Chain A
Amino acid sequence: MGAEGIGARVARKEDKRFLTGKGRYTDDITVPGMKHAVFVRSPHAHAKINGIDKTAALELPGVIDILDGKQLTEDGIGSLICGWMIHSKDGSPMNMGDWRPLATDTVRYVGDAIAVVVADTKAQAWEAIEAVHIDYEELPAVTESADALAEGAPQIHENAPGNLIYDWEIGDSAAVDAALASAAHVTSLDVTNNRLIPNAMEPRAAIGLYNEAEDHYTCWTTSQNPHVTRLVMSAFYNVAPENKLRVIAPDVGGGFGSKIYIYPEEIVCLWASKRTGVPVKWVADRSEAFMTDAHGRDHVSNIKIAFDADNRITGMKVDTLANLGAYMSLFSSSVPTYLYATLLSGQYDVPNIHANVRTVYTNTVPVDAYRGAGRPEASYIVERAMETAARELGVSPAELRRKNFITEFPHETPVIMTYDGGDFGACLDAAMKAADYDGFPARKAESVARGKLRGIGLSCYIEACGIAPSKAVGSLGAGVGLWESAEVRVNAVGTIEVMTGSHSHGQGHETTFAQLVAERLGVGIDTVNIVHGDTDKVQMGMGTYGSRSGAVGMSAISVALDKVEAKAKKIAAHLLEADEADIVIEGGELKVAGTDKTLPWFQLALAAYTAHNLPDGMEPGLMETAFFDPTNFSFPAGCYICEVEVDPETGVTDITQFVAADDFGTIINPMIVEGQVHGGVAQGIGQALMETCAYDAKNGHLLTGSYMDYTMPRAVDLPSFTVETTKTESPSNPLGLKGCGEAGAIGSPPAVINAITGAIGTNDLAMPATPQAVWAAMNR
């Protein structure tokens, strides 16, 4: 490794602009003539719209126009779609309800957009939305998934009878039933995975700019995947054809999944810009973010694990009910199916698994992928059940897991995954050592002496990243390919630009990706510029989610680098009059091995562009493009240990230590990887201890609609973390990368709850384990 190459803990190139207030987020951008949009939103969870009266509002100062769904429909703008087709077990396609960017006849959740006011100032637009009169006819609402399936529940979409979206299954039901019937022991557990609100610190925002002279649109938006935004807006929403639409996702302040999707607001801003003839900016305030950003999780499940007399797992049965909210968001259907049930084997050799998943509509915000997306839900039920089983069987939780670990690879699970590598025992060992697991009884005795309770909880998670190959995900219903694209340009003066379809919204790609180039070409990272987030600058892309930027995005860069190197070696061999096979790249130069003949990159690049002396028939220039489609998912895995002290008087939980031991394969920048783990673990602890989205079940109102109601983890709520890594390289991409962005949020919740339930001696505890919930569990 060079000083700045793979494995180096280098400081981030992008930091300076963020540290000095020079970051450029969507709300920081001003376009000449720009006006401001505010949306008229439903205050009702479910209502018919009998009329919209804009007369009084249109008279208010500064109001340019007020546009509604009828006008949007007349202009041919399409409905929002879910891009992953799931079929029910009876073969019928999922029941996708119509989602208009601006509701016309019915509103289905509090916050559903109905109209948009465009005004000179944001304050004027806010005043005007109050004066838009909507004639609502309130309908009964339902917020909980089980209630939505009950007889007589309010019907939310006409084409989804009983609010059922699909009833899907995977695995061999009969084989699992046989395993359960013949088991020496069956652990059965009901588990709720609480609904979360993502809360990236930058609220969503969009600017729509229509240039009439060129019949061209530009959209600045808080997106994790600008090319996907352009594709979907063109292909499905009829906003503009791809060649007439530029999407720019500038600095984006966190995503966590919630900025993958194309929401009504950016569609409406572009359309409204054409209708009004002015650039239109919309910026969500936090209250709007709470009630319109796609939420996460919200599963209710039962898991049964069958064990033989030797405590080996013989089968697993899972039944899950997932709440998808009022409409099917872009990738919502895949989250409780292929991103969830396919990971139910965990780290264990399970001969038979069957999962049944039903998804339902409710009068709540649409639910889609949130950091981990299905994999936290899988990890949670499996790891809660394994800990419970160990307690029921009276064996060590660590040893029960170890006994059932998969140890030979590749390993085909009964739920269509082929784990291609890993060493689960190494992670367990590393975590137990770092946590001084053996010293727990002494620490517990010390707590007890002070009148406190103490518990230690394990979680051995596995996840699947770099969802691929495209052919396979296509066969499972995905509407897109899941490759990534890169272009590496060696400029005539030897500086390097890399256009990547990945998008950084906190992950540090401008540094990590430059480190890969530095490693390969022997140049410093300051010579390398990573360009991302603009469909006019970057050739193509699928964006950043599912911890894919390393395994897929960097792999695309690696393949482009292969091509650059191959061409450069040909040129060098020609200029240095040597055999191509003897050319090596070292220390920023091309050399003839074993001689003192060298050519620095800038001389070679200049030769490529002057083209005065290239090999016969060679095209001038030195820039190469690659599309990379991995051969398989990658499988990060790890072991997390949480130790807690609980105050029996108050139910307050104190996390005394948290240890993460992860196998992420190759690591480019350990500092950045550790930061990803810290952030993911914080979100997981947030879910386990404090965060939850609450609706009033009677009327569908969002009760946790601000930072005064929804408990975000603050610094004082969290401990410092111990982060360890082990390494087995992924064989599915050229760099051996596995992905690290979501692991913390996937692995940590079960570790926390396992620790608390161990401390308090009762297993009947749901997330979030607030002091009230813990105290109530102890005193039931």
Chain B
Amino acid sequence: MPNITMSVNGRSVSAEAEDRTLLVDFLRDDLGLTGTHVGCDTSQCGACVVHVDGEAVKACTMLAAQASGSEVRTIEGLAAGGELHPVQAAFQQFHGLQCGFCTPGMIMAATDMINRHGASLDEAKVRAELDGNICRCTGYHNIVKAILAAASEMADAQQAAE
């Protein structure tokens, strides 16, 4: 079995895994990072979205070996120093989660979306960008509101920093 080494949430990890091991199974089963969820078997639901080298990736569509040498960030690594990330905080404030199962993937997809589009996001664009993430509880209404609020807050914070 090949040895796989990657950085996960800023920490270097190394483990042996079968060639066929998916990144999501490596994270969940080998590293015990169960915040990344598996909601389907056809790469449609987006519950498993993580960031690989700064980009949103469905961890069920990538082999762990393909991510070897990469920087991986999961939902467990998003809050810094006990402070919720602005996207996490907005999901709570706007009630963008109910059962919580799709939430990690939603939040990782949303942070990537905001990183790419920033304050230029509007409702139509957020809805279109969420095409790869399914939620059965919220009807997306509050998820969209949360993402727009977080995008605006992050843009303001960036402007203030500049």
Residues of chain A whose beta carbon lies under 8 Å from any beta carbon of chain B: 11-12, 14-25, 27-28, 123, 199-203, 251-254, 256, 285-287, 505-508, 671-672, 674-675, 678-683, 706-708, 712-716, 718, 720-721, 744
Contact = CB atoms under 8 A, between A and B. Distances in A.
A286 B38 CA distance: 9
Contact of A506 (B38, B40, B76, B98): B98
Contact of B95 (A286, A671, A708): A671
Contacts of A720: 123, 141, 144
B38 A201 contact: no
A21 B34 contact: yes
Instruction: Find the residue from A19, A199, A202, A671 having the highest chain B CB count within 10 A.
Output: A19
A713 B138 CA distance: 11
Contacts of A17: 100
Contacts of A20: 35, 75-76, 78-79, 84, 88
Contacts of A671: 95
A671 B142 CA distance: 10
A201 B102 contact: yes
21 contacts: A17-B100, A21-B104, A23-B103, A123-B20, A199-B136, A202-B39, A203-B38, A286-B42, A505-B99, A675-B138, A678-B140, A682-B139, A683-B139, A706-B44, A707-B45, A712-B136, A714-B127, A714-B130, A714-B140, A715-B140, A716-B131
Given A674-B95, A678-B140, A720-B123, 15 more contacts: A15-B91, A19-B107, A23-B35, A24-B34, A201-B39, A251-B99, A252-B99, A253-B37, A706-B44, A713-B139, A714-B127, A715-B126, A715-B144, A716-B130, A744-B139
A681 B138 CA distance: 9
A118 to B, nearest CB: 17
Contacts of B134: 201, 707, 712, 714
A23 B39 contact: no
A679 B45 contact: no
B4 interface: no
Interface string B3-46: 00000000000000010100000001000011111111110110
Chain A interface, DSSP helix/strand/loop, else mixed: loop
A254 B98 contact: yes
B6 to A, nearest CB: 17
B137 A254 contact: yes
A707 B38 CA distance: 13
B64 interface: no
A675 B96 CA distance: 8
B135 interface: yes
Nearest to B35: A21
B56 interface: no
Nearest to B130: A715
Contact of B40 (A16, A253, A286): A286
B47 interface: yes
Contacts of B74: 21
Contacts of B18: 123
A706 B33 CA distance: 26
Contact of A16 (B41, B92, B139): B92
B92 A200 contact: no
B126 A25 contact: no
Contacts of A678: 138-142
B43 to A, nearest CB: 9
Nearest to B76: A21
A592 B38 CA distance: 56
B162 to A, nearest CB: 28
Nearest to A287: B41
B28 to A, nearest CB: 8
Nearest to A705: B42
Nearest to B129: A715
A356 B40 CA distance: 39
Given A20-B79, A21-B35, A716-B130, A721 B141 contact: yes
A642 to B, nearest CB: 14
Nearest to B91: A19
B143 interface: yes
Nearest to A714: B131
Contacts of A200: 99, 101, 136
A716 B128 contact: yes
Contacts of A508: 98
Given A20-B79, A678-B142, A718-B139, A201 B99 contact: yes
B97 interface: yes
B61 interface: no
B93 interface: yes
A601 B95 CA distance: 32
A18 B128 contact: no
Contacts of A11: 92-93, 95
What 3 A-B pairs are tightest by C-beta distance, nearest first?
A21-B35, A18-B100, A253-B101
Contacts of B141: 675, 678, 682, 718, 720-721
B123 to A, nearest CB: 7
A755 B95 CA distance: 29
A672 B88 CA distance: 17
A506 B95 CA distance: 11
Contacts of A683: 136, 139
A17 B39 CA distance: 18
B139 A679 contact: yes
A506 B84 contact: no
Contacts of B92: 11-12, 15-16, 19
Contacts of A506: 98-100, 137
A130 to B, nearest CB: 15
Given A253-B101, A506-B99, A28 B130 contact: no
Contact of B45 (A21, A24, A286, A744): A286
A679 B98 contact: yes
A69 B95 CA distance: 46
Contact of A681 (B99, B139, B143, B144): B139
Contact of B100 (A23, A672, A674): A23
Contacts of B123: 720
B42 A708 contact: yes
B42 A706 contact: yes
